[in-house]
Structure 1
Amino acid sequence: MPDSMQLLYYCLGGILSVLLLATLIIIGLKQCRPQHNWLELQQRINSWWVILGLFSLAMLSPRWLALTFFGFISFLSLKEYLTLAPTRRSDHVPLLWMYAAIPLQYIWTGMAWYGIFIIFIPVYVFLFLPVRMVIIGDTKGFLHSASVMHWGMMSTVFALSHVAYLLTLPGSDASEGTLLVIFLVVLTELNDIAQYLWGKSLGKIKVIPKVSPNKTWEGLLGGVFTTTLLATVLGPLLTLMDWKHAFGAGMIIALGGFCGDVVMSAIKRDFGVKDSGKLLPGHGGILDRVDSLIYTAPLFFHFYYYFYI
C-alpha cells in the first residue's frame, strides 16, 4: 500500500476517533449534569457524524464519485442561497441556466482543464446570464437581480469547485489529491471551532459587532495561532509543502476562513435570517458549514498551485 494511502486511512481514522471522543464526552456530560440542556450540542455531534461519514466515503471513492459529491454540495449550496436571495419572477429561466452550469464546471474539473475551469464562470457565465435576462425584457430590478445571481455562482459553485480541483492536480495521484482536500477542509473547520472556543473563553473586544456580534479579536487571533500551528505540523506530513509554505497556508486558511464567515454573515443579515437553512440540525444549513470554504478554497488552491504545480 502506498504511503499516501496509509496516510489517508490514518487521517480519516483520526478524524472519526476525535468525533467518537466528542460523542463519549457529551454522553458523560448528560449523565453528570442532566439538569442542563444539551440538545443543541447533541444535534451538532449527530450532524457531524453524518457530515464526516459522507465526507469520508467521498474521499475513499473513485475520483468521479468524489467530484459528483462536491458538485452536489455546490448544488445544495446554490439552491439554499437562491431560496433566501430576492429574485424576480421573470428570472426563472436564468436560474435554470445557473443550475445547468454546475455539472459543466465539474466536468472541466474532472478533465483537469485548468484554462476553461478558471474562466468558465467568472467570464462566460458572467457574460451570458445578463444577456439571457435581457431577452426576457424585464428591466425593473435588473442590476440587483444580476448581482445576486453572479455572487451566488461565484461563491457556491466557482469557489467551492476549487476544493474538487485539488483532487485532479497534475503530478499527484488520487490519494495525494485527497490528502490536500483533507488538509484544507479539516483545517478550515478546525479554524471555525478554534475561533469559537477562543472567543468564548477569552473574547471581549468585538471585531465587527454590527455584522457578527460573537466575533472577537481574541477569538480571531487565537484561531489564527491554532490553525497556523496545526498547518505547520500537518502540512509536511500530509502534503508536498515544507514547513514554511505550510505556515503560509495556515495563515491563509485562518484569515480566509474568518473573512468567509463574516461575509456570509453579512449576506444572511441582509436576507434577514440567522441561519441559511435547517438541513443540518445544530448547524443550520449547508451554507452555514461551507461559508469559510468559499474563501479558503480558492485562496489555498492558488497558493498551492503557484508553488507546487
Structure 2
Amino acid sequence: MQLALSLLGTEILTALGMLYLMLGMASLGVGLKLRARPQSQLRLQVNAWWWIFPVVTASLLLHPYGAPLLALAIGALALRELAPFTGRDGTAHFAWPAAAALAATISLIFIKPAAITALLAFASLITLLYFLRSRSVPALVWLLWLILCFSVSFLPRYEALPMDAHHRLGWLFYLYVLTSLNDVAQFISGTLFGRHRIAPSISPNKTRQGLLGGVAATLLLSLALGSYLRLAVPGQLAVYAVLLSLGGFCGDLMFSAAKRVLGVKDFSQLIPGHGGILDRVDSLVVTAPLLYFLIHLQGT
C-alpha cells in the first residue's frame, strides 16, 4: 500500500481527492433538491458512484495487482449477468466452460497478458463468424463475454508500457476518469439538450446533442487532467479526448443493440440506478484497448 501511494504521487492523489469532493457536492446537491424523492433515478445514479469510485481507487492502490484483479472481477460479474440469457437449460452449459476459461485466464493474465489478449481476440473472431451464421442468442452471449474479456485484458498490459510506473498509473487513472465522466456528460447533455436521435431503433436516448456534449466535456477534462499529470502535450490530449469519447459512445451503442436482441433494458440490477456491470463497462470495452494503442503510437 505504501509503495502504491508513493507511485501514485501527489498529482494523482490530489486529482482523486478532487473527484471525491465533486462527488460529495453532487450527492449533497441532489439530496437536498430531491429530498422528497429518495428513489428518484438521478439520485440513485449519483449515489451509485460511491460504489464505483472506491473500486477504481482500490485498483490503483493495489498496484501492480489492481488492474488484473479489476479485469478478472469485471469478467466474473459479466459471466454471472450473461449466463441466464442462454436459457433455462443453457445456463450451466455456458457458465461452466466460461468459468474454466476464466480460471485459465487467472493463471495467464499475471504471466503473459499479451498471450491471453491474442487468444481472446481469436476466440472472439471465431464466435463472431458463428453468430453471423447462426444468429443464435447463446452465440451472442458468448460473443459479448469474449469481447468484454478481450478488452479488459488490456488493463494489465498498461503495466508493460515503456515508461515509469508513476506515468503508467497516471494513464490508467486518465482512462478510468475520462471513460466514466464521458458517459455522465453524454447522459446529462442528452437529457437537457437532446433533440436529434442518432440511432432510435437501437437506443432512443442517444442524441447528437448528447454526443457533442460528451465530446466537449471530455475534451476539457482531458486537457486539464492530462496536462496536470504531465501525460502528453495538449494536441495529443485533444485528439485522445475526441477518439475516446467517440469510442465510448460506440461501445455503449454496441451493447445497447445487444440488449435489444436480448429484450432487456439492463443486464442486471447489480448497481442501483446504473444497471449491471455490463451497463457500466460498455464504454470501457472500446476505450481500454483504444487508449493503449494510442499511447503505443505516441511512443513510436
Give TM class, smaller chain: 0.7 to 0.9
| Cα offsets for 1:221-266 (capped at 9, x unmatched) | 1211221232133223325322222111111111011111111111
Report the equivalent of 1:46.
Answer: 47
Shift of 1:120: 1.5
2:280 pairs with 1:284: no
Amino acid at match of 1:96: W
What residue is the counterpart of 2:30 in the other structure?
26
Deviates more, 1:11-20 or 1:269-278: 11-20
Question: Does the CA contact (< 8 Å) of 2:78 and 2:145 recur in 1?
Answer: no
Question: Hey, what's the Cα distance between the residues in 2 that align with 1:142 and 1:27?
Answer: 49
SS in structure 2 at match of 1:10: helix
Q: Which residue of 2 aligns with 1:102?
A: 102
Alignment of 1:245-260 (within 5 A): 245-260=236-251
Q: Could you tell me whether the CA contact under 8 Å between 2:79 and 2:95 is conserved in 1? A: no
Instruction: Check whether the contact 1:78–1:152 (CA below 8 A) recurs between aligned residues.
Output: no
**Structure 1 segments unaligned to the other structure (5+ residues):** 131-140
Tell me which residue corresponds to 1:134: none
CA apart distance, 1:163: 2.6
State the partner residue of 1:135.
none
CA contact (8 A) 1:71 1:106 kept: yes
The one-letter amino acid paired with 1:157 is C
CA distance 1:104–1:63, change in 2 (3 Å): farther
Q: 1:170 to 1:88 in 2, by over 3 A?
A: farther
Matched position secondary structure for 1:251: helix
Equivalent residue letter for 2:221: L
In structure 2, relative to structure 1, the CA distance for the partners of 1:62 and 1:190 (3 Å cut) is closer
Give the secondary-structure state (helix, strand or coil) at the position aligned to 1:207: strand
Q: 1:126·1:150 contact (CA, 8 Å) conserved in 2?
A: no
Q: Secondary structure at the residue paired with 1:283? A: coil
| Offset at residue 306 of structure 1 (A) | 2.3
CA contact (8 A) 1:199 1:214 kept: yes
**Which deviates further from its counterpart, 276-285 or 227-236?**
227-236
**In structure 2, do the counterparts of structure 1 residues 156 and 214 end up closer, same or farther at CA, with 3 Å as the change threshold?**
same
Instruction: Tell me: CA distance 1:87–1:125, structure 2 relative to 1, closer, same or farther (3 Å).
Output: farther
Which whole-Å CA distance do the structure 2 matches of 1:280 and 1:92 have between them? Answer: 24
Q: Equivalent residue for 2:254?
A: 263
- Cα distance, 1:308 vs. partner? 2.2
Aligned in 2, Cα 1:278/1:88: closer, same or farther, shift over 3 Å? closer
Highest Rg: 1 or 2?
Answer: 1
Q: Among all aligned residue pairs of Structure 1 and Structure 2, give the percentage whose two residues are the same amino acid.
A: 29
Q: Which amino acid in structure 2 is aligned with residue 28 of structure 1?
A: L
Alpha-carbon displacement from aligned partner over 1:190-228 (angstroms, at most 9, x marks no partner): 111111121122211111111111111111112112212
Amino acid in structure 1 at the alignment position of 2:197: K
Give the SS at the match of 2:206: coil
Q: Distance in 2 between matches of 1:4 and 1:239?
A: 13
Of residues 171, 176, 179, the one that matches 1:188 is 179
C-alpha distance in 2 between matches for 1:47 and 1:117: 32
Amino acid at match of 1:11: A
Per the TM alignment, residue 54 of structure 1 is displaced from its structure 2 partner at its CA by 2.0
Q: Once the 2 structures are TM-superposed, how far is the Cα of residue 101 of structure 1 from its aligned partner? A: 2.6
1:9 aligned residue: 13
Q: Which amino acid aligns with 1:47?
A: A
> Secondary structure of 1:254's partner?
helix
Q: Secondary structure at the match of 1:276?
A: coil
2:266 is matched by which residue type in structure 1?
D
**Deviations 1:34-56 (CA, angstroms, capped at 9, x unpaired):** 55565333322332111111221
Indicate how the Cα distance of structure 1 residues 245 and 91 shifts in structure 2: closer, same or farther if over 3 A, else same.
same
Distance in 2 between residues matched to 1:113 and 1:38, nearest whole Å: 42
**Equivalent runs, 1:120-199 vs 2, <5 Å:** 120-123=119-122, 144=136, 147-148=139-140, 150-173=142-165, 175-199=166-190
- 1:170 CA drift (Å): 3.5
Q: Give the superposition deviation at 1:179.
A: 1.7
Contact 1:78 1:156 survives alignment (8 Å): no
The residue number in structure 2 matching 1:136 is none
CA contact (8 A) 1:278 1:284 kept: yes
Q: Deviation per CA, 1:139-174: give whole Å up to 9, x if none.
A: xx977367325513432211122233223424331x
C-alpha distance in 2, partners of 1:91/1:74?
16
